[in-house]
Structure 1
Amino acid sequence: MCGLLSMLTTSGNAEDYVPALEAALPCMRHRGPDAAGTWHDDDAAFGFNRLAIIDIEHSDQPLRWGPADNPQRYALTFNGEIYNYVELREELQAAGYTFNTEGDGEPIVVGYHHWGEDVVNHLRGMFGFVIWDSETRTMFAARDQFGIKPLYYATTAAGTVFASEMKCILEMADAIGLDLSLDKRAIEHYVDLQYVPEPESLHANIRRVESGSTVTLRPGEQVSSQRYFTPRFPVQHVPTGQEQQLFDRIARALEDSVEKHMRADVTVGSFLSGGIDSTAIAALAKRHNPNLLTFTTGFEREGYSEVDVAAESAAAIGVEHIVKIVSPEEYAAAIPRIMWYLDNPVADPSLVPLYFVAQEARKHVKVVLSGEGADELFGGYTIYKEPLSLAPFDKVPDPLRRGLGKLSQVLPDGMKGKSLLERGSMTMEERYYGNARSFNFEQLQRVLPWATRDWDHREVTAPIYAESRDFDPVARMQHLDLFTWMRGDILVKADKMNMANSLELRVPFLDKEVFKVAETIPHDLKISHGTTKYALRKAMEQIVPPHVLHRKKLGFPVPMRHWLAGDELFSWAQDTINDSQTEDIFNKPEVLEMLKEHRDGISDHSRRLWTVLAFMVWHGIFVEGRIDPQIEQRDYPVKL
């Protein structure tokens, strides 16, 4: 787990940009405090910050490799972990190749020489990498199948820069002549969705390589992505009496994934909340590390803590458990720091406790496992039950359905049945765009008066839905979430909050071998017997303690509704709005009125307010330069 910064120049003058590259590297030192290095030739300049996990004494980057007739042909910068690197090394050695390190990065570049661009289909892991081939003058970049690791890029007349963090590109903006104008469409998307959807960023000229995609370019060319992985959930059926075979396959796949994810030359711990996902991972990890440490976080406010359940789970599986309690004061003080680490805002309050539990874990371990991805792969969100409740509407003629929708609009808010009629009158493409809706269009215009009426969430979701026409309804929702909520929110906060603390987070559910099993689960074994993730729960019956097996997922719940209405965060929120120089973006009097309505109990605006507040803090750091994120410079030992 590291941070890369690579540039392909237009005019063969890479040496001229090395000083700017070296000056930009320290801003992502948190991604790799163990070592740093640079390399360049005429066309390309590479920089790297390393967090040493495997082959600690060697495998520094930028990594050079080549065949016997040109041993320095390739240069590699690589962020992530390849969990099948041992098997890849053996396969490539059998094909006659030699290796200079014992690390997991070298098999990528050797594999690229052997398989070409198809190397990505041989990799089992999380990655963002850039390879320069000095012989063909070709740069090849790629991101892992699910988008666990980030990869930003920007192109100007000077060339193209790739980076693990957007702030590195911002640091190089003057040197490469990059226009840092904001993207108003991306701002609309963010305010409505609570995250910036890929491939956008809030800066119009900085973009992201999408999950499961590659880029090939030569000097002077524009970036053009090619998708190599698209998750599929084809309609499946399991014959009666053969369900247990499926459950056993799930258990075997997950156990194998956890075993591979435990590969490291440093200590590996695990996050542990009160739900089945993290508990399953921790219980399986315990089999490979009897001294496993687990970590959780919570709040002092009753009802907003997984601490007691997590402690009970830790005792049941026999692991040492460490808890971090976050106070409202700590929470508020950390917000500017967290927005700096995020690069683009994510309006998910749970990323703050994640930051603190990562900070605590880093005192003890260098790698943690976590349960991200289980909901998307196995059908874990409660909203996935909706197609069952709305099934009767599918039999209603379309004109009558539309009429029911109009009727719902005249019913009083809060009236029983209003929401059911409203949602039942719409198609899935119209009503569902993930877990993150906070504003309807009228509310959006209240805070974004310039918001265009032609904006619709389908601008983001329609191309994704088009790929899933033949899927069952639950699978269509899963497929959408893999491309929106998961990679826009879940994986961004997982990467950024842990890397902020120089802690590598690994997600065994998001493994391509686990997905090969998950994609075969029929919808009636995902949502069944009144619960979600039914097949996963059955697969984990002998692994997860009974008190967790059917417990509702909570993650790290945050008492944001109470804090924004009370002494904890109301004054902070009011000051943030008043001080923000975002009058050209937000209708600040309306935002202040929403805050007052929330305090007075007229309406729960907590999600909408947090979306705006997160952006205002981000804007104060990256655009106004008014807010100091107060980043701490930490020196960690190489080994833990």
Structure 2
Amino acid sequence: MCGFIGYVNGTNPLNHKEIIENMMNTIIHRGPDSGGIHADDQVTLGFRRLSIIDLTEGANQPLYNEAGDIVLIFNGEIYNFMTLRAELVDKGYQFKTHSDSEVLLHGYAEYGFELVHKLRGMFAFCIWDKKNDLQFIARDGFGIKPLYYTENTTDGTIIFGSEIKSFLPHPSFKKEFNNDALRPYLTFQYSAMDETFFKGVYKLPPGHFMVIKNRKITKIEKYWDKKFSASKGSLEETIANIRETVAASVKAHQISDVKVGSFLSGGIDSSYIAALLKPDKSFSVGFSDYEAMFNETNLAKDLSDILGIQNERKYVSAEECFKALPTIQWHMDEPQSNPSSVPLYFLSELARKDVTVVLSGEGADEIFGGYEWYKPSAKMQKYEKLPLGVRKTIAGLAGALPKNAYTNFLKKGAQTVEERFIGEAVVWDEKDAFNVLKPAYRKGPSVHDITKRIYAEVPGDDDVTKMQYLDLNLWLPGDILLKADKMSMAHSIELRVPFLDKEVMEMAKKIPTEHRVNEADTKYALRQAALEELPEEWAKRKKLGFPVPIRHWLREERYYNLVKEAFTAEYAKEFFDTEQLVTYLDAHYKGEHNYARYIWTVYVFLVWYNCFFIEDTKWTKLKGTRHNEMASHSDL
């Protein structure tokens, strides 16, 4: 639902209504139904609405209290708004709409900053409290909804909003490339720092709120944590708790005054959500020419038939994917090379023809332990019975031998989880990334500089829990949820994630580690719980992810030449040893090595950089246009 942009006015005399209108136009895809502006001597706020709950004009934003001294702009959904509304009515508050937005307005008046502890939902919002001269800005606990802010301006303006691109039209904003962001990106495949690829532009971390008072950022505070605290309940109790809590979450997430559908692959996560929701339609995407290798749409169709749901599916070609890539990266705001962003873009486009809201299965892997990384290896468990000192000595000897599966095993066996696991995504080897970069871009933080602060929060947990906690706080908001939000909102569709619910997380925190991951399976208890709703074939199917045939595309002459042109472009030489890039590309093209992810990650960055720093005037002219118009601007 929606998007917003706002700023605390700086010292330069500006036409704030004209400026905020231009800024709002860059995110019209987030809210095509209506727009609204608040402008006064201190604060300027803009809002674009995608109408989901209470479709009347009275629910449009900015929203004001009766006195007009509290102003709200809000992106997201509050799923417990009816309960909160009843509490506030009992306290004497009068509501003029049936929207969830108004709960935030009166909730702040009653509870102040403590409001965030009462919210169950996905959200990013700003409340302008005129009487106390402060802006209260908050983001949901998982980071489902994005929220950026910056003080990197020429006149003291503080800008905040749903998308970075909306900062660009402000005349005081200083658009600068962040040299430190590229090094970790190559390994993580996404922007892994709080500071973004735009210098001085930051993400408000999930589960945090920020206070701006007297035109200064005075507080950034964490209000919710996702640390596990496992109990000793039986497997039967765990399964019963999962069934009850997930079913209740799906029920809460289907509240809407518009049509709701479901994304559906062949895996357990989206299948479980679809089985509980039972929408009229489900939506799936595959790849033309690779149906046998990269296709779960048949599985989605089979389950839809079993559930009595109509399945809509689309096959996407390599040409469509490459053509759409600049548009995809423009919507992402920062380079993001997770290949699944591409099919997700087309999946959202497909769903938007029929519905405005979709439910999806993101988050189950991080909460319930679904990644193969988490699963203990029987061989490694036996090897780790040797003293660590002995294993380190063996690893040192293995380091002098040629790399192979055996030496990698011996070296891994001498590492702690903090040393060997940096998150679900690992693309470029860190040493290779360092060597391919020009010196000015080698100064960014190492991957362990980024992960160690998160690991430091859970020093006493077991290895599985540590890995889950890292992914919940890094990979999930930085990659999974960001692309889910940006790719769905690119097509003016709201994506909801019932597994990433406050009540689900509070329940999951107590699940014993062996019920999450064990030698038998990943997501062990969740799979058992899903058997009540799904055929065993779906409940127990191994995780496939969202496979994309990039390695095959890059061995076609047409796309090899397209990427080579980008690798040898003059602006690429600013960042990379381009001769080394072409060496990787040629080796992959000839089938000598699979460097597809290395190549794709660099290529995506160059496409993104071209959009925002080379041909940025062309892209900023797109403000106010819809996504289908933008798709024609894809000549890279």
Q: TM-score range by the shorter chain?
A: over 0.9
Q: Is the 8 A contact 1:14 1:43 kept in 2?
A: no
SS at match of 1:113: helix
Q: SS at the partner of 1:48?
A: strand
- Any residues of structure 2 matched to 1:180-219 within 5 Å, and which? 180-219=175-214
Give how far 1:14 is off: 8.5
Which of the residues 484, 497, 514 maps onto 1:524?
A: 514
- Report the TM-score, using the length of structure 2 for normalisation: 0.94
| Deviation, structure 1 residue 270 | 0.3
1:279 aligns with 2:241: no
Match of 1:4 in 2: 4
* Residues 454 and 95 (structure 1), Cα distance of their counterparts in 2 relative to 1, 3 Å cut: closer
Report the Cα offset of residue 527 of structure 1: 1.6
Q: What letter matches 1:109 in structure 2?
A: L
**What displacement does 1:5 show?**
0.7
Is structure 2 residue 109 aligned with structure 1 residue 113?
yes
| Local SS of the residue matching 2:543 | coil
Write out per-residue CA displacement over residues 565-622 of structure 1, whole angstroms, 9 at most, x where no aligned residue: 2246222211222236131211111111110011112221111111100000000010
For 1:289-344, what per-residue CA distance to the aligned partner results, in whole angstroms no more than 9, with x for missing partners? 5xx21000001202101111111111111100000110111011000110100000
Read off the aligned partner of 1:59 and give its amino acid letter. Answer: A
Where does 1:225-374 land on structure 2 (aligned, <5 Å)?
225-238=220-233, 242-286=234-278, 289=279, 292-300=280-288, 301=290, 302-374=292-364
Paired residue secondary structure (1:581): helix
How many residues align? The count is 620
How does 1:613-628 map onto structure 2 within 5 Å?
613-625=603-615
Q: Is the 8 A contact 1:358 1:498 kept in 2?
A: yes
Are the aligned partners of 1:64 and 1:72 in contact in 2 as well (CA < 8 Å)?
A: yes
Aligned residue runs from structure 1 range 526-541, under 5 A: 526-528=516-518, 530-541=520-531
2:308 partner letter: G
Displacement of 1:393 in angstroms is: 4.6
Judged with a 3 Å threshold, the aligned counterparts in structure 2 of structure 1 residues 580 and 81 are, in CA distance, closer, same or farther, namely farther
The residue identity in structure 2 corresponding to 1:188 is R
Q: Which secondary structure state, in structure 2, belongs to the residue aligned with residue 37 of structure 1?
A: strand
Structure 1 residue 10, shift from structure 2 partner:
4.5
Partners in 2 of 1:183 and 1:293 — Cα distance? 43
Which of 524, 530, 545 does residue 535 from structure 2 map onto? 545
The equivalent position to 2:504 in structure 1, one of 514, 522, 538, is: 514
2:164 and 2:627 map into 1 onto residues whose CA distance is 23
Report what 1:130 is aligned to.
126
Query: Normalising to structure 1: TM-score of the pair?
Result: 0.93
Contact 2:120 2:502 (8 Å CA) reproduced: yes
Question: In 2, distance between residues paired with 1:388 and 1:516?
Answer: 31
| Distance change (3 Å), C-alpha of 1:389 and 1:153 | farther
CA contact (8 A) 1:196 1:488 kept: yes
- Matched with 2:162 is 164
Determine what percentage of the aligned residue pairs are the same residue: 38
Whether the aligned pair in 1 keeps the contact of 2:367 and 2:468 (CA below 8 Å) is: yes
- On the 8 A contact 2:394/2:410 being kept in 1, the answer is yes
Question: For each residue in 1:320-372, what CA deviation from the matched residue of structure 2 results, as whole angstroms up to 9, or x when unmatched?
Answer: 00001101110110001101000001111111010001001000000000000
Residue 439 of structure 1 pairs with residue 407 of structure 2: no
Where structure 1 has 5 or more consecutive residues not aligned to the other structure, the ranges are none
Shift of the 262–235 alpha-carbon distance from structure 1 to 2, 3 Å rule, reads: closer
d(CA) in 2 for partners of 1:210 and 1:506? 19
| 8 Å CA contact 2:336, 2:479 repeated in 1 | yes
Once residues 568 and 56 of structure 1 are traced to their aligned partners in structure 2, the CA distance between those partners, rounded to angstroms, is: 47
- Rounded Cα–Cα distance in structure 2 between residues aligned with 1:215 and 1:585: 34
Distance 1:522 1:388, change over 3 A: farther
Match of residue 633 from structure 2: none
Match of 2:41 in 1: 42
Aligned to 2:575: 585
Residues 5-44 of structure 1 correspond to what in structure 2 (within 5 A)? Answer: 5-10=5-10, 16-44=15-43
Question: Which residue type is aligned with residue 196 of structure 2?
Answer: S
- Amino acid in structure 1 at the alignment position of 2:285: T
Distance 1:222 1:315 in 2: 54
Deviation at 1:529, TM superposition (A): 5.3
Cα distance in 2, alignment partners of residues 14 and 65 from structure 1: 29
Counterparts of 1:606 and 1:439 in 2: how far apart (Å)? 11
Give the SS at the match of 1:53: coil
| Distance in 2, Cα, partners of 1:86 & 1:361 | 28
AA partner of residue 409 (structure 2): L
